[in-house]
Structure 1
Amino acid sequence: MKLVYVFDAYCGWSHGFSGTLREIAFRHPELPVEVVSGGLFTGSRRVPIREFGYVEGANAKITELTGAEFGPAYARLIADGSFVMDSEAAARGVVALRRAAPDRALELATALQRAFYADGLSLSDAATYRTVAAEAGLDADAVVAAFEGAEAPAAAEADFHQAADLGVNAFPTLLAVDGHTKTVLARGHATPDDVERRLAVHVASRTS
Protein backbone atom coordinates (compact mmCIF):
# COMPACT_ATOMS: atom_id res chain seq x y z
CA MET A 1 0.00 0.00 0.00
CA LYS A 2 1.12 3.56 -0.67
CA LEU A 3 -0.21 7.07 -0.31
CA VAL A 4 -0.75 9.14 -3.43
CA TYR A 5 -0.90 12.88 -2.91
CA VAL A 6 -2.48 14.78 -5.81
CA PHE A 7 -1.96 18.51 -5.40
CA ASP A 8 -1.20 21.67 -7.29
CA ALA A 9 1.74 23.79 -6.25
CA TYR A 10 -0.35 26.91 -6.95
CA CYS A 11 -3.30 25.67 -4.87
CA GLY A 12 -3.74 27.49 -1.56
CA TRP A 13 -5.67 24.58 -0.05
CA SER A 14 -2.78 22.27 -0.96
CA HIS A 15 -0.48 24.69 0.86
CA GLY A 16 -2.80 24.54 3.84
CA PHE A 17 -2.81 20.73 3.78
CA SER A 18 1.00 20.50 3.97
CA GLY A 19 1.07 20.30 7.75
CA THR A 20 -1.42 17.45 7.85
CA LEU A 21 0.47 15.58 5.16
CA ARG A 22 3.80 15.94 6.92
CA GLU A 23 2.24 14.65 10.15
CA ILE A 24 0.74 11.61 8.42
CA ALA A 25 4.07 10.84 6.74
CA PHE A 26 5.77 11.13 10.15
CA ARG A 27 3.25 8.76 11.75
CA HIS A 28 3.52 6.24 8.94
CA PRO A 29 7.11 6.02 7.71
CA GLU A 30 6.28 2.57 6.35
CA LEU A 31 3.99 4.08 3.71
CA PRO A 32 5.68 5.52 0.62
CA VAL A 33 4.18 8.80 -0.60
CA GLU A 34 3.85 9.43 -4.33
CA VAL A 35 3.37 13.09 -5.30
CA VAL A 36 1.38 13.94 -8.44
CA SER A 37 0.63 17.39 -9.89
CA GLY A 38 -3.02 17.91 -10.74
CA GLY A 39 -2.98 20.87 -13.13
CA LEU A 40 -5.34 23.39 -11.59
CA PHE A 41 -4.37 26.46 -13.62
CA THR A 42 -3.98 25.34 -17.20
CA GLY A 43 -5.67 26.25 -20.47
CA SER A 44 -8.38 28.89 -20.02
CA ARG A 45 -7.62 29.09 -16.27
CA ARG A 46 -4.08 30.33 -16.93
CA VAL A 47 -5.00 33.99 -16.51
CA PRO A 48 -3.95 36.96 -14.33
CA ILE A 49 -4.74 36.32 -10.68
CA ARG A 50 -7.05 39.36 -10.55
CA GLU A 51 -9.58 37.26 -12.47
CA PHE A 52 -9.91 35.01 -9.43
CA GLY A 53 -11.65 37.45 -7.13
CA TYR A 54 -11.93 34.93 -4.30
CA VAL A 55 -8.18 34.51 -3.67
CA GLU A 56 -7.76 36.77 -0.64
CA GLY A 57 -10.89 35.49 1.05
CA ALA A 58 -9.92 31.89 0.38
CA ASN A 59 -6.43 32.46 1.75
CA ALA A 60 -7.85 33.96 4.94
CA LYS A 61 -10.06 30.89 5.36
CA ILE A 62 -7.13 28.56 4.75
CA THR A 63 -5.11 30.35 7.45
CA GLU A 64 -8.05 30.20 9.85
CA LEU A 65 -8.53 26.45 9.38
CA THR A 66 -4.93 25.27 8.99
CA GLY A 67 -2.59 27.96 10.31
CA ALA A 68 -0.81 28.09 6.95
CA GLU A 69 1.00 31.35 6.35
CA PHE A 70 0.82 33.60 3.31
CA GLY A 71 3.87 35.83 3.58
CA PRO A 72 4.34 39.51 2.76
CA ALA A 73 6.55 38.66 -0.24
CA TYR A 74 3.68 36.62 -1.70
CA ALA A 75 1.30 39.52 -1.07
CA ARG A 76 3.66 41.85 -2.95
CA LEU A 77 3.97 39.41 -5.85
CA ILE A 78 0.22 39.30 -6.46
CA ALA A 79 -0.61 42.85 -5.34
CA ASP A 80 -1.31 44.36 -8.76
CA GLY A 81 -3.25 41.30 -9.94
CA SER A 82 -1.13 40.67 -13.03
CA PHE A 83 0.65 37.54 -11.81
CA VAL A 84 -0.29 34.39 -13.74
CA MET A 85 -0.37 31.05 -11.95
CA ASP A 86 0.79 28.52 -14.55
CA SER A 87 0.33 24.99 -13.27
CA GLU A 88 2.14 23.45 -16.25
CA ALA A 89 5.33 25.30 -15.26
CA ALA A 90 4.85 24.33 -11.61
CA ALA A 91 4.34 20.69 -12.58
CA ARG A 92 7.55 20.75 -14.63
CA GLY A 93 9.30 21.97 -11.50
CA VAL A 94 7.77 19.25 -9.36
CA VAL A 95 8.94 16.63 -11.86
CA ALA A 96 12.45 18.09 -11.90
CA LEU A 97 12.72 18.06 -8.12
CA ARG A 98 11.12 14.63 -7.83
CA ARG A 99 13.62 13.15 -10.26
CA ALA A 100 16.52 14.64 -8.33
CA ALA A 101 15.39 13.04 -5.06
CA PRO A 102 12.49 10.58 -5.53
CA ASP A 103 12.38 9.60 -1.86
CA ARG A 104 12.01 13.27 -0.84
CA ALA A 105 9.15 14.19 -3.17
CA LEU A 106 6.81 15.20 -0.34
CA GLU A 107 9.42 17.39 1.35
CA LEU A 108 10.28 19.08 -1.94
CA ALA A 109 6.65 19.66 -2.94
CA THR A 110 5.94 21.44 0.32
CA ALA A 111 9.20 23.41 -0.01
CA LEU A 112 8.03 24.55 -3.43
CA GLN A 113 4.75 25.79 -1.99
CA ARG A 114 6.62 27.69 0.72
CA ALA A 115 8.75 29.29 -1.99
CA PHE A 116 5.59 30.72 -3.55
CA TYR A 117 3.29 31.38 -0.60
CA ALA A 118 5.91 32.49 1.93
CA ASP A 119 8.80 33.80 -0.16
CA GLY A 120 6.83 35.17 -3.11
CA LEU A 121 8.86 33.32 -5.77
CA SER A 122 7.27 32.53 -9.12
CA LEU A 123 6.99 28.84 -9.92
CA SER A 124 7.47 29.72 -13.59
CA ASP A 125 10.97 31.01 -12.90
CA ALA A 126 13.94 28.63 -13.20
CA ALA A 127 15.71 30.61 -10.47
CA THR A 128 13.07 29.43 -7.98
CA TYR A 129 13.98 25.79 -8.62
CA ARG A 130 17.64 26.61 -8.33
CA THR A 131 16.95 28.12 -4.89
CA VAL A 132 14.75 25.24 -3.69
CA ALA A 133 17.21 22.64 -4.95
CA ALA A 134 20.21 24.35 -3.39
CA GLU A 135 18.45 24.70 -0.04
CA ALA A 136 17.63 20.98 -0.16
CA GLY A 137 21.24 20.06 -0.93
CA LEU A 138 20.45 18.87 -4.46
CA ASP A 139 22.28 19.46 -7.73
CA ALA A 140 20.68 22.78 -8.64
CA ASP A 141 22.08 22.79 -12.20
CA ALA A 142 20.55 19.36 -12.87
CA VAL A 143 17.18 20.44 -11.46
CA VAL A 144 17.09 23.59 -13.59
CA ALA A 145 18.11 21.61 -16.67
CA ALA A 146 15.26 19.15 -16.05
CA PHE A 147 12.78 22.01 -15.53
CA GLU A 148 13.80 23.64 -18.80
CA GLY A 149 14.38 20.43 -20.78
CA ALA A 150 12.53 19.36 -23.91
CA GLU A 151 10.91 16.42 -22.10
CA ALA A 152 9.53 18.53 -19.26
CA PRO A 153 6.15 19.48 -20.80
CA ALA A 154 5.33 15.84 -21.56
CA ALA A 155 6.30 14.86 -18.02
CA ALA A 156 3.96 17.50 -16.62
CA GLU A 157 1.14 16.26 -18.86
CA ALA A 158 1.79 12.71 -17.65
CA ASP A 159 1.13 13.88 -14.10
CA PHE A 160 -2.10 15.58 -15.16
CA HIS A 161 -3.26 12.41 -16.91
CA GLN A 162 -2.36 10.30 -13.90
CA ALA A 163 -4.44 12.56 -11.66
CA ALA A 164 -7.38 12.22 -14.05
CA ASP A 165 -6.97 8.45 -14.23
CA LEU A 166 -7.15 8.36 -10.43
CA GLY A 167 -10.46 10.19 -10.65
CA VAL A 168 -9.11 13.27 -8.88
CA ASN A 169 -10.62 16.62 -9.86
CA ALA A 170 -10.18 18.57 -6.61
CA PHE A 171 -6.96 19.53 -4.88
CA PRO A 172 -5.50 18.47 -2.62
CA THR A 173 -6.60 14.85 -2.58
CA LEU A 174 -4.82 12.15 -0.58
CA LEU A 175 -5.43 8.55 -1.57
CA ALA A 176 -4.51 5.20 -0.10
CA VAL A 177 -3.72 2.98 -3.07
CA ASP A 178 -3.38 -0.78 -2.80
CA GLY A 179 -3.17 -2.48 -6.17
CA HIS A 180 -6.33 -1.53 -8.03
CA THR A 181 -8.07 -0.39 -4.86
CA LYS A 182 -7.99 3.25 -3.86
CA THR A 183 -9.58 5.07 -0.94
CA VAL A 184 -9.91 8.83 -0.51
CA LEU A 185 -8.33 9.80 2.80
CA ALA A 186 -8.68 13.55 2.35
CA ARG A 187 -10.03 16.03 -0.14
CA GLY A 188 -9.44 19.69 0.60
CA HIS A 189 -9.10 20.36 4.31
CA ALA A 190 -8.56 17.53 6.81
CA THR A 191 -6.75 17.18 10.12
CA PRO A 192 -4.19 14.45 10.77
CA ASP A 193 -6.69 12.67 12.99
CA ASP A 194 -9.32 12.81 10.23
CA VAL A 195 -6.89 11.12 7.86
CA GLU A 196 -5.82 8.66 10.52
CA ARG A 197 -9.37 7.48 11.09
CA ARG A 198 -10.02 6.98 7.39
CA LEU A 199 -6.72 5.17 6.97
CA ALA A 200 -7.61 2.84 9.84
CA VAL A 201 -10.93 2.00 8.17
CA HIS A 202 -9.14 1.34 4.89
CA VAL A 203 -6.61 -0.96 6.55
CA ALA A 204 -9.34 -2.80 8.41
CA SER A 205 -11.26 -3.37 5.18
CA ARG A 206 -8.18 -5.00 3.66
CA THR A 207 -7.81 -7.47 6.50
CA SER A 208 -11.46 -8.32 7.13
Structure 2
Amino acid sequence: MNTAHFVYIADVYCPWCYAFWPIMQRIAAQHPEFPVHVLGGNLMSRRVTLADDAAASPGLTDFWREVEHALGRSLAGAIHAVETGREMCLFSPGADEVLEALKTLAPGHALEQLLALEDLFYGQGQDIFSDSSLAALAQRWHMAPDALTAAMAAPETAQAARRGLEEASALMGEISAYPSVILVRGNRRDAVSRGFVHYETVASRLEDAMQDLGLEDMPPHTACSWHGGCTLGRHTK
Protein backbone atom coordinates (compact mmCIF):
# COMPACT_ATOMS: atom_id res chain seq x y z
CA MET A 1 0.00 0.00 0.00
CA ASN A 2 1.85 3.08 -1.28
CA THR A 3 -0.72 5.85 -0.87
CA ALA A 4 -1.17 7.77 2.37
CA HIS A 5 -3.24 5.68 4.76
CA PHE A 6 -3.97 4.76 8.36
CA VAL A 7 -2.72 1.52 9.83
CA TYR A 8 -5.01 0.34 12.63
CA ILE A 9 -3.55 -2.40 14.83
CA ALA A 10 -5.94 -4.10 17.24
CA ASP A 11 -6.40 -7.44 18.94
CA VAL A 12 -9.76 -9.20 19.06
CA TYR A 13 -9.24 -10.01 22.78
CA CYS A 14 -8.17 -6.50 23.80
CA PRO A 15 -10.93 -4.68 25.74
CA TRP A 16 -9.29 -1.32 25.01
CA CYS A 17 -9.62 -2.06 21.29
CA TYR A 18 -13.32 -2.86 21.62
CA ALA A 19 -13.81 0.40 23.53
CA PHE A 20 -11.74 2.32 20.95
CA TRP A 21 -13.96 1.27 18.05
CA PRO A 22 -16.23 4.37 18.04
CA ILE A 23 -13.14 6.60 18.07
CA MET A 24 -11.54 4.78 15.15
CA GLN A 25 -14.82 4.83 13.26
CA ARG A 26 -15.10 8.60 13.82
CA ILE A 27 -11.53 9.26 12.69
CA ALA A 28 -11.97 7.14 9.57
CA ALA A 29 -15.25 8.89 8.70
CA GLN A 30 -13.67 12.32 9.12
CA HIS A 31 -10.70 11.42 6.92
CA PRO A 32 -11.95 9.35 3.99
CA GLU A 33 -8.85 10.44 2.08
CA PHE A 34 -6.86 7.98 4.23
CA PRO A 35 -7.85 4.34 3.64
CA VAL A 36 -7.57 2.14 6.74
CA HIS A 37 -5.24 -0.85 6.62
CA VAL A 38 -6.30 -3.19 9.47
CA LEU A 39 -3.84 -5.51 11.19
CA GLY A 40 -4.58 -8.04 13.93
CA GLY A 41 -2.68 -8.53 17.16
CA ASN A 42 -0.93 -11.23 19.13
CA LEU A 43 -2.19 -10.61 22.66
CA MET A 44 -3.22 -14.24 23.18
CA SER A 45 -0.25 -15.76 21.40
CA ARG A 46 -0.90 -19.25 22.78
CA ARG A 47 -4.18 -21.11 22.50
CA VAL A 48 -5.93 -21.13 25.90
CA THR A 49 -9.46 -21.59 27.18
CA LEU A 50 -11.39 -18.71 28.70
CA ALA A 51 -11.62 -20.66 31.96
CA ASP A 52 -7.85 -21.10 32.13
CA ASP A 53 -7.27 -17.45 31.32
CA ALA A 54 -9.71 -16.36 34.04
CA ALA A 55 -8.11 -18.74 36.55
CA ALA A 56 -4.67 -17.29 35.78
CA SER A 57 -6.04 -13.74 36.18
CA PRO A 58 -8.41 -13.74 39.20
CA GLY A 59 -9.24 -10.06 38.77
CA LEU A 60 -10.11 -10.34 35.08
CA THR A 61 -13.83 -9.62 35.25
CA ASP A 62 -13.27 -6.81 37.79
CA PHE A 63 -10.82 -5.25 35.34
CA TRP A 64 -13.33 -5.57 32.51
CA ARG A 65 -15.98 -3.88 34.67
CA GLU A 66 -13.55 -1.01 35.33
CA VAL A 67 -13.03 -0.64 31.58
CA GLU A 68 -16.80 -0.72 31.06
CA HIS A 69 -17.37 1.98 33.68
CA ALA A 70 -14.58 4.26 32.49
CA LEU A 71 -15.17 4.00 28.77
CA GLY A 72 -18.90 3.41 28.49
CA ARG A 73 -18.79 0.30 26.32
CA SER A 74 -20.41 -2.87 27.61
CA LEU A 75 -18.27 -5.99 27.94
CA ALA A 76 -21.21 -7.93 29.35
CA GLY A 77 -20.92 -10.86 26.97
CA ALA A 78 -17.36 -11.75 27.93
CA ILE A 79 -18.06 -11.16 31.63
CA HIS A 80 -21.11 -13.43 31.52
CA ALA A 81 -19.10 -16.08 29.66
CA VAL A 82 -16.54 -16.17 32.47
CA GLU A 83 -19.16 -16.20 35.23
CA THR A 84 -21.13 -19.04 33.64
CA GLY A 85 -18.06 -21.10 32.74
CA ARG A 86 -18.72 -21.05 29.02
CA GLU A 87 -16.20 -23.12 27.05
CA MET A 88 -14.32 -20.84 24.66
CA CYS A 89 -11.00 -20.81 22.87
CA LEU A 90 -8.83 -17.68 22.92
CA PHE A 91 -6.11 -17.51 20.27
CA SER A 92 -5.11 -14.25 18.57
CA PRO A 93 -3.23 -15.78 15.58
CA GLY A 94 -6.32 -17.85 14.80
CA ALA A 95 -8.53 -14.76 15.08
CA ASP A 96 -6.16 -12.97 12.71
CA GLU A 97 -6.67 -15.79 10.19
CA VAL A 98 -10.46 -15.40 10.45
CA LEU A 99 -10.02 -11.67 9.83
CA GLU A 100 -7.72 -12.28 6.84
CA ALA A 101 -10.21 -14.74 5.36
CA LEU A 102 -13.04 -12.20 5.72
CA LYS A 103 -10.89 -9.46 4.18
CA THR A 104 -10.12 -11.72 1.22
CA LEU A 105 -13.68 -12.87 0.57
CA ALA A 106 -15.38 -9.54 1.32
CA PRO A 107 -12.80 -6.79 0.72
CA GLY A 108 -13.40 -3.19 1.73
CA HIS A 109 -14.98 -3.94 5.11
CA ALA A 110 -11.95 -4.62 7.32
CA LEU A 111 -12.92 -2.23 10.12
CA GLU A 112 -16.42 -3.66 10.36
CA GLN A 113 -15.06 -7.21 10.19
CA LEU A 114 -12.66 -6.56 13.06
CA LEU A 115 -15.48 -5.06 15.13
CA ALA A 116 -17.67 -8.06 14.37
CA LEU A 117 -15.02 -10.38 15.79
CA GLU A 118 -14.52 -8.19 18.85
CA ASP A 119 -18.27 -8.00 19.39
CA LEU A 120 -18.66 -11.77 19.20
CA PHE A 121 -16.33 -12.09 22.17
CA TYR A 122 -16.95 -8.96 24.29
CA GLY A 123 -20.49 -8.10 23.28
CA GLN A 124 -22.03 -11.56 22.85
CA GLY A 125 -19.70 -13.80 24.84
CA GLN A 126 -19.25 -16.22 21.96
CA ASP A 127 -16.31 -18.31 20.84
CA ILE A 128 -15.35 -16.79 17.50
CA PHE A 129 -14.19 -20.19 16.24
CA SER A 130 -17.51 -21.94 16.88
CA ASP A 131 -19.58 -23.13 13.93
CA SER A 132 -22.39 -20.73 14.85
CA SER A 133 -20.05 -17.72 15.03
CA LEU A 134 -18.43 -18.52 11.70
CA ALA A 135 -21.84 -19.06 10.12
CA ALA A 136 -23.02 -15.68 11.41
CA LEU A 137 -19.92 -13.97 10.02
CA ALA A 138 -20.36 -15.67 6.65
CA GLN A 139 -24.02 -14.71 6.48
CA ARG A 140 -23.28 -11.08 7.36
CA TRP A 141 -20.94 -10.76 4.37
CA HIS A 142 -23.06 -12.87 2.02
CA MET A 143 -20.82 -15.88 1.69
CA ALA A 144 -21.29 -19.59 2.22
CA PRO A 145 -20.00 -20.86 5.58
CA ASP A 146 -17.88 -23.48 3.86
CA ALA A 147 -16.28 -20.74 1.74
CA LEU A 148 -15.18 -18.95 4.91
CA THR A 149 -13.80 -22.08 6.55
CA ALA A 150 -12.00 -23.02 3.33
CA ALA A 151 -10.41 -19.57 3.16
CA MET A 152 -9.35 -19.85 6.81
CA ALA A 153 -7.64 -23.17 6.08
CA ALA A 154 -5.82 -21.91 2.98
CA PRO A 155 -2.02 -21.64 3.41
CA GLU A 156 -2.01 -18.13 1.96
CA THR A 157 -4.35 -16.98 4.73
CA ALA A 158 -1.95 -18.12 7.44
CA GLN A 159 0.90 -16.49 5.52
CA ALA A 160 -0.99 -13.20 5.26
CA ALA A 161 -1.75 -13.28 8.99
CA ARG A 162 1.92 -13.86 9.80
CA ARG A 163 2.97 -11.02 7.52
CA GLY A 164 0.43 -8.80 9.24
CA LEU A 165 1.85 -9.62 12.67
CA GLU A 166 5.36 -8.88 11.42
CA GLU A 167 4.23 -5.56 9.96
CA ALA A 168 2.40 -4.65 13.16
CA SER A 169 5.42 -5.56 15.28
CA ALA A 170 7.73 -3.45 13.14
CA LEU A 171 5.40 -0.46 13.39
CA MET A 172 4.81 -0.73 17.15
CA GLY A 173 8.42 -1.38 18.12
CA GLU A 174 9.57 -3.17 21.26
CA ILE A 175 6.28 -2.73 23.13
CA SER A 176 3.03 -3.92 21.60
CA ALA A 177 0.36 -1.36 22.39
CA TYR A 178 -3.20 -2.14 21.37
CA PRO A 179 -4.89 -0.30 19.80
CA SER A 180 -2.38 1.67 17.73
CA VAL A 181 -3.22 4.09 14.93
CA ILE A 182 -0.41 5.12 12.60
CA LEU A 183 -0.59 7.63 9.76
CA VAL A 184 1.65 6.42 6.93
CA ARG A 185 2.76 8.81 4.20
CA GLY A 186 5.59 7.52 2.05
CA ASN A 187 8.47 6.77 4.39
CA ARG A 188 6.93 8.78 7.22
CA ARG A 189 5.20 7.09 10.14
CA ASP A 190 3.26 9.15 12.70
CA ALA A 191 1.73 7.29 15.67
CA VAL A 192 -1.44 9.17 16.56
CA SER A 193 -2.42 6.53 19.12
CA ARG A 194 -0.38 3.98 21.08
CA GLY A 195 -2.75 2.19 23.39
CA PHE A 196 -6.19 3.55 24.24
CA VAL A 197 -6.45 7.33 24.15
CA HIS A 198 -9.53 9.52 23.94
CA TYR A 199 -10.76 11.08 20.73
CA GLU A 200 -9.44 14.56 21.53
CA THR A 201 -5.89 13.26 21.86
CA VAL A 202 -6.04 11.30 18.62
CA ALA A 203 -7.57 14.24 16.75
CA SER A 204 -5.00 16.76 18.01
CA ARG A 205 -2.06 14.49 17.23
CA LEU A 206 -3.46 13.74 13.79
CA GLU A 207 -3.88 17.46 13.09
CA ASP A 208 -0.28 18.10 14.10
CA ALA A 209 0.96 15.21 11.97
CA MET A 210 -0.93 16.49 8.94
CA GLN A 211 0.65 19.92 9.48
CA ASP A 212 4.08 18.25 9.63
CA LEU A 213 4.74 19.58 13.12
CA GLY A 214 6.67 16.49 14.09
CA LEU A 215 5.13 14.32 16.80
CA GLU A 216 7.03 13.17 19.81
CA ASP A 217 6.86 9.44 20.42
CA MET A 218 3.86 8.33 22.46
CA PRO A 219 5.08 5.62 24.87
CA PRO A 220 2.27 3.23 25.88
CA HIS A 221 2.66 4.10 29.58
CA THR A 222 1.60 7.69 28.85
CA ALA A 223 -1.67 6.69 27.19
CA CYS A 224 -4.96 7.43 28.88
CA SER A 225 -5.70 4.97 31.65
CA TRP A 226 -8.95 3.18 32.37
CA HIS A 227 -9.39 5.51 35.33
CA GLY A 228 -9.80 8.32 32.81
CA GLY A 229 -6.49 10.07 33.43
CA CYS A 230 -4.41 11.23 30.48
CA THR A 231 -0.98 12.85 30.52
CA LEU A 232 -0.89 13.67 26.81
CA GLY A 233 -1.32 17.06 25.28
CA ARG A 234 -0.56 18.58 21.90
CA HIS A 235 2.96 18.26 20.58
CA THR A 236 4.52 21.01 18.51
CA LYS A 237 7.95 21.75 17.12
TM-score by length of 2: 0.78
Q: 2:27 aligns with which of 24, 28, 35?
A: 24
Is this contact kept in 2: 1:17–1:188, CA < 8 A? no
- Normalized per residue, the structure richer in helix is 1
CA-based RMSD of the aligned residues comes to 2.4
Q: Report the Cα distance in structure 1 between the residues aligned to 2:107 and 2:37, rounded to whole angstroms.
A: 9
Answer whether contact 2:64 2:79 (CA < 8 A) is retained: no
1:185-205 Cα offsets, whole Å, 9 max, x none, are 112222222211111000000
Counterpart pick for 1:191 among 189, 192, 198: 198
SS for the counterpart of 1:5 is strand
Determine helix, strand or coil for the equivalent of 1:42: coil
Query: Shift of residue 165 of structure 1?
Result: 1.5
Q: What secondary structure sits across from 1:174 in the alignment?
A: strand
Matched with 1:166 is: 171
Q: Pick closer, same or farther for the CA change 1:203–1:86 going to 2, 3 Å.
A: same
Unaligned runs of 5+ in 2: 215-236
* C-alpha contact (below 8 Å) 1:126/1:148 kept by paired residues: no
Q: Which moved more, 1:8-17 or 1:133-142?
A: 133-142
Q: Which moved more, 1:93-102 or 1:145-154?
A: 145-154
TM-fit CA distance, 1:103 = 1.4
Amino acid at match of 2:73: A
Contact 2:75 2:122 in 1 (8 A): yes
Deviation of 1:147 after TM superposition, in Å, equals 1.6
> Which residue pairs with 1:11 in the alignment?
14
2:207 alignment counterpart = 200
Alignment partner, residue 152 of structure 2: 147
Shift of 1:126: 4.6
When Rg is computed on C-alpha atoms for both structures, the one with the higher figure is 2
Q: Say which SS state the counterpart of residue 177 (structure 2) adopts.
A: coil
- Unaligned stretches of 5+ residues in structure 1: none
Residues 1-208 of structure 1: pairs in structure 2 closer than 5 A = 1-43=4-46, 46=48, 48-50=52-54, 51-71=56-76, 73-79=77-83, 80=85, 83-168=88-173, 169-205=176-212
TM-score (norm 1): 0.88
Q: Tell me, what secondary structure is at the counterpart of 1:194?
A: helix
Contact 1:146 1:152 in 2 (8 A): yes
Cα separation, partners in 2 of 1:84 and 1:179, compared to 1, 3 Å: same
Which segment is superposed worse, 5-14 or 135-144? 135-144
Deviation at 1:151, TM superposition (A): 3.5
Which secondary structure does the structure 2 equivalent of 1:88 belong to? helix
* Paired residue secondary structure (2:108): helix
Q: Which amino acid aligns with 1:121?
A: Q
DSSP-derived class of the 2:115 partner:
helix
Secondary structure, counterpart of 2:182 in structure 1: strand
Q: How many residues are treated as equivalent by the alignment?
A: 206
Deviations 1:133-155 (A, max 9, x none): 31243454322221233433333
Identity score, percent: 25
Deviation of the 1:122 alpha carbon:
0.9
